[in-house]
Amino acid sequence: MDAATQFARSQEIAGNIAYVLQKRAQNAVNQYGKRLREAVSDGVRMDQSCTLPPGAQLNPLSAWHYAVDVAQRSLLFWDTMRERGTQYVENTSQGLKPVLHFDYDVVLDGRHFARPVNYALLHIKPPEDVIVDANKRPYLIIDPRAGHGPGIGGFRDDSQVGVALRAGHPVYFVVFFQNPEPGQTLLDVCAAEQKFVTKVRSLHPDSAKPAIIGNCQGGWAAMMLASSSAEDTGPIVINGAPMSYWSGSWSEGVGDNPMRYAGGLLGGTWLASFASDLGNGKFDGAYLVQNFEYLNPANTLWDKYYRVYDNIDTEPPRFLEFERWWGGYYLMNREEIEWITRNLFIGNKLWSGTVRGVSGKAFDLRDIRSPIVLFASMGDNITPPQQAFNWVADLYGSTEEIKARGQVIIGLMDQEAGHLGVFVSGKVAKKQHAQIVNVLEAIETLAPGLYAMLIDEVNGDDGKIAYEVTFVEHRLEEIAQHFNRFKREDEKPFEAVAELSEFNQRAYEMFAQPWVQWTSNEVTARLLREIHPLRSQRWAWSDLNPWLAWLRPAANAVKASRQHAADIGPWRELEHRGSEMISASLDYYRAMRDAVAESTFFGVYTNPFLLHFADRYRERNAAASTVTDPRELPFVKEALASIEQGGYDEAVARAAFLLGRSGEPLPLARLATQRELIEAYAEYLPSLPADQWRRIRGEQELIATYEPQQAIATLPALLTVPADRKRLLTLLDRLLGDSRVQSVTPSAQQWEALQRIRAVLGAPPAARPVAVLEHTPT
């Protein structure tokens, strides 16, 4: 690209950036104005600044009662803050135990491995009223190590742990301790988690392979584990897990994903190395938690505290329980955080196959043979749906490759839950996570492909809310287009970020790191950690502070004489409206801040000097986008070339697809019937491991899709042994007469395919029943 073209392109990009910034700013102003109007609407005009509901009374007596209430609530609020600080001090002195709601036993302690790591495997003890079947599929849950401690996946009874236990499954939990072991790396952690999976399998030898549940960063840990131990892992469920770190939504509306720009604005990975050097080789997780709090200043600075103040008689226990997890900060070794930032946050390499494990073998996510469930939310501004799903398009490239590799990938979306809500919310646990547990057995019978999992609320027979699950197959290309309006053009600058990050990292290591390490020691590192704002605000307002000795007895006295005056409603209404104005103002600040940060990011990384990095990225990936005809894809060509190759297994898989109802939604009830038929006619079906059977089904589906006539005509070539031909015809006859199959009328296409299959195999035409083949085992 010549200089003139580059300059013209830069000017065009600058214009687009300015246009989007203007739109974002206008949207922020509109939202701010709307919230302010709502805060003061529907009232009687009192003066220039406030309104009251019709009929409200403001008088000296109600004002006095309100002043007493404010004083009482204020005292109780600050006592709650004291309890929070004291709780933090006590938990820290005890080593920050997991915040699990359930009792547990330690099964394996990674600190005693040959390559020690600060991880352990726990067995969750079921409550007394819950019966667990040791022969059911065990669940292994991995929590995120993103600054906080472990246990949030089992934080309450309505949680991932709770729903799995109530379904009768053994549950295991991967936890970690506050301090990493000396020399511990992320690859050592992955190797330890492989040992955990092996141990769980040995404890349940008669059960199906364990399901691996990964939350947030635990999600990519689960994917690494599954790709390196494919033979030991069952279905994978990753919740709110960032996999494609450069992805996000970019539009003219609200800026939803500010975190993805942070690495570029801060110059890349060097800052994590700098923080680790200041920590004498350890990275303080409080920095990560601070980043999360930075995302939502309204909640961080006002909303969560006002919620406690406003509901001071009921809210403190819930607040303190959550703060027990939110206020526990864990450490990482320098090697761990640098691996994460270089390979994931900035490098975005996990899906590329360039990241290698302890053995030297690259992590190839295509080695995973078990179904994968991806759960994300549109309300998640930390791991947006694009980061949860785009890696599938990067890794597989086409729907045909997913099918040819025998992979089943299921996407589940929530419209409102925030990042923590995806794996913490009790409402989400009772709906999405409970249904995931219910379907994990069934999805192993799905044909290879990409599916959306839909959950509909219905009224149960007992009048309570029940859920109906349906699977709808989609093409990968359609999903990628749906989530990426601009065809991922907005990701190209991140290649420049990665290049600049490498330069800054080398510069830091050469010129600054020796001096930082020379001035750091364990004393200075501990001092820096203790005076971190998130820690100091807790220990400074705790029982360690002698100036607060009066607070607890004063709060106890208030609780003993707490009064609830009935005439302070108008004043409380004014208070609520004032609080809403403060919250709206902070949200307006956030919207403008994020809009400016986004425009600054694109303004820096799309300048002519750095544009050539994006061009290099485009050239490296151009080959993958040149194939437009699916028939020209390598996997389709290979499948079609093998149309006459195979045996009974391939013939059954091909016939199953030809006789199935392609393109229709699959209710969970149909999958359950399918499993019943598979068990009833097991003697006629291939006896293969599930992953091999899915791969054969995927290949035969490609053949039957692109060459349907030849697929039927060449069936005799797969059934050269007369006994195999008779076996398949017997299976079809048995299914034709099964009442479960006859419950749905066959389509004309299904009936025609059946008659053609019988004809090429030398069998007479079948007599048409009322309904047939709806539930042919596939």
DSSP string, 652-685: HHHHHHHTS-TTS-EEHHHHHHHHHHHHHTGGGS
According to the model, what pLDDT value does residue 613 have?
59
Between 769 and 642, the more confident residue is 642
301: pLDDT strictly greater than 70:
yes
777: pLDDT strictly greater than 80:
no
According to the model, what pLDDT value does residue 487 have?
76
What DSSP designation does 303 have?
I
Average pLDDT (442-450) is: 91
573: pLDDT strictly greater than 80:
yes
Cβ-count burial 281-301 (b if 16+ within 10 Å, e if not): bbbbbbbbbbebeebbbbbbe
According to the model, what pLDDT value does residue 13 have?
74
Under the banding of pLDDT at 50, 70 and 90, the label for residue 154 is very high
Under the banding of pLDDT at 50, 70 and 90, the label for residue 631 is confident
Lowest mean pLDDT among 86-90, 155-159, 620-624: 620-624
Q: Which 3 state secondary structure label does DSSP give 686?
A: coil
| pLDDT tens for each residue of 342-366 | 988 898 888 777 777 777 777 888 8
Alpha helices in 681-775 (DSSP H): 690-706, 708-713, 715-718, 722-736, 748-760
What DSSP designation does 59 have?
-
408: pLDDT strictly greater than 60:
yes
739: pLDDT strictly greater than 90:
no
CA triple 406-410-415, angle to 5 deg: 165
178: pLDDT strictly greater than 70:
yes
Token reading at 614? 């994006």
Question: What percentage of residues in the chain have a pLDDT greater than 90?
Answer: 61
According to the model, what pLDDT value does residue 49 have?
42
Task: Please state, in angstroms and rounded to a whole number, the distance separating the CA atoms of residues 429 and 162.
Answer: 8
Q: Which of 199, 187, 180 is nearest to 111 (CA)?
A: 180
Q: What is the dihedral of CA 170, 171, 177, 182, to 10 degrees?
A: 70
Under the banding of pLDDT at 50, 70 and 90, the label for residue 771 is very low
699: left (phi over 0), alpha (psi -120 to 50) or beta: alpha
The beta strands (E) that lie in 362-416 are given as: 372-377, 408-414
Lowest mean pLDDT among 79-93, 126-140, 576-590, 725-739: 725-739
Average pLDDT (136-164) is: 93
Lowest mean pLDDT among 185-189, 200-204, 414-418, 575-579: 414-418
Under the banding of pLDDT at 50, 70 and 90, the label for residue 3 is low
Between 256 and 597, the more confident residue is 597
- Residue 302 CB burial class (10 angstroms; 0-12, 13-18, ≥19): middle
Token reading at 42? 């529907």
382: pLDDT strictly greater than 50:
yes
Under the banding of pLDDT at 50, 70 and 90, the label for residue 253 is very low
Task: Please state, in angstroms and rounded to a whole number, the distance separating the CA atoms of residues 601 and 479.
Answer: 27
Task: Please state, in angstroms and rounded to a whole number, the distance separating the CA atoms of residues 118 and 64.
Answer: 56
Average pLDDT (418-447) is: 90
485: pLDDT strictly greater than 90:
no
According to the model, what pLDDT value does residue 616 have?
58
Average pLDDT (577-595) is: 95
| pLDDT tens for each residue of 531-570 | 999 999 999 999 999 999 999 999 999 999 998 888 898 9
447: pLDDT strictly greater than 80:
yes
Q: Which of 75, 198, 91 is nearest to 151 (CA)?
A: 91
Under the banding of pLDDT at 50, 70 and 90, the label for residue 612 is low
Contact (Cβ atoms closer than 8 angstroms) between residue 335 and residue 197: no
Average pLDDT (368-373) is: 93
Q: Please list the residues that pair with 51 across neighbouring strands.
A: 45
606: pLDDT strictly greater than 50:
yes
- DSSP code per residue over 153-178: GGSSSSSHHHHHHHTT--EEEEEE-S
Q: 412 — phi, psi (to 5°)?
A: -130, 130
Q: Within a 13 Å sphere around the CA of 265, how many CA atoms are in the beta-carbon half?
A: 15
Q: 131 — phi, psi (to 5°)?
A: -105, 125
Average pLDDT (418-424) is: 88
End-to-end CA distance of the chain: 52
Q: Please list the residues that pair with 667 across neighbouring strands.
A: 470
251: pLDDT strictly greater than 60:
no
Q: Residue type for 318, please?
A: R
- DSSP code per residue over 185-209: -HHHHHHHHHHHHHHHHHH-TTSPP
**All residues at 6 or more sequence positions from 301 whose CB lies less than 8 Å from its CB, including other chains:** 586
Lowest mean pLDDT among 40-54, 643-657, 691-705: 40-54
Lowest mean pLDDT among 41-45, 230-234, 471-475, 662-666: 41-45
764: pLDDT strictly greater than 80:
yes
Average pLDDT (427-438) is: 92
According to the model, what pLDDT value does residue 42 have?
54
Q: Residue type for 439, please?
A: V
According to the model, what pLDDT value does residue 328 have?
93
34: pLDDT strictly greater than 50:
yes
Task: Please state, in angstroms and rounded to a whole number, the distance separating the CA atoms of residues 115 and 357.
Answer: 14
Under the banding of pLDDT at 50, 70 and 90, the label for residue 2 is low
Handedness of CA 652, 658, 663, 667 (dihedral sign): negative
According to the model, what pLDDT value does residue 772 have?
42
Between 190 and 627, the more confident residue is 190
According to the model, what pLDDT value does residue 56 have?
53
Q: Which of 442, 435, 432 is nearest to 208 (CA)?
A: 442
- Rounded to the nearest integer, the mean pLDDT of the chain is 88
193: pLDDT strictly greater than 80:
yes
- Residue 219 CB burial class (10 angstroms; 0-12, 13-18, ≥19): buried
Query: How far, CA to CA in Å, does 165 sit from each of 81, 375, 421?
Result: 34, 20, 20
Question: What percentage of residues in the chain have a pLDDT greater than 70?
Answer: 92
Token reading at 682? 């097991």
Average pLDDT (392-406) is: 91
